[in-house]
Amino acid sequence: KPDPTILDVGANRGQSIASFKLLFPESSIESFEANPSFFPILESVKAWYSNVQIHNYGLGSDTGVLEFHVPTVDGKAYLEEGSTREDNFEKPWVIERLKTYGEKLEFDVFPVEIKVADQVLHEQAVDIVKIDVEGAEFDVLSSMTRLIERSRPVFLIENSDFDNVTPFLEGLG
């Protein structure tokens, strides 16, 4: 449809907002980003488009505060690789990728706010859900069961948690 409602979970610097608005200029976009480093950038991206809302918190299985882990290699922070899931950095492909960035791996850790999707979106209908949350995909999906059952949206997921995400979605049909 020409004016879909889109959830952008893990908004990063707003790349998906720009892409979705190019494809669907009349769309409504609800963007969620837990990493406060991206908030000023997202606010400037929002200024370019109509019907875009920026939420300065992430979505997950429980409302509360979680630790957000940003890998820093040789003193350079890789903000786009940050995650609320510390175990994401134990996955072999993540370890290998981070090794290509340099020698000394450390983490900046700080608190971020997380909310449950079904609680903040209430009965809102959604057509497309994009999720890019570096290993926390199942946490996000499990927070929107009612939304999924109600709306049956199209998903675009960077699926770093295939063993949990795929059976969960299959279970919802």
Kindly state the tokens that stand for 64: 């509360």
Task: Quote the pLDDT of residue 55.
Answer: 98
Q: Which residue has the higher pLDDT, 162 or 109?
A: 109
Kindly state the tokens that stand for 71: 């890998």
Kindly state the tokens that stand for 78: 């890789």
Query: For 51-91, how does the pLDDT look when each residue is reduced to its tens digit (9 = 90+)?
Result: 999 999 999 999 999 999 999 999 999 999 999 999 999 99
> What totals of helices (H) and strands (E) does the chain contain, helices first?
7, 9
Instruction: Report the pLDDT averaged over residues 28-53.
Output: 97
Instruction: Report the pLDDT averaged over residues 35-53.
Output: 96
Angle between helices 39-46 and 15-23 (to 10 degrees): 20
Q: Answer whether 0.85 is exceeded by the pTM.
A: yes
Q: What's the whole-number average pLDDT of the chain?
A: 96
How many Å is the maximal CA-CA distance in the chain?
Answer: 48
Task: Quote the pLDDT of residue 101.
Answer: 97
Distance CA 108, CA 44 (A): 25
> Residues near 43 by Cβ (< 8 Å), separated by ≥ 6?
54
5 φ/ψ angles, rounded to the nearest 5 degrees? -95, 125
Per-residue pLDDT band for 41 (boundaries 50, 70, 90) equals very high
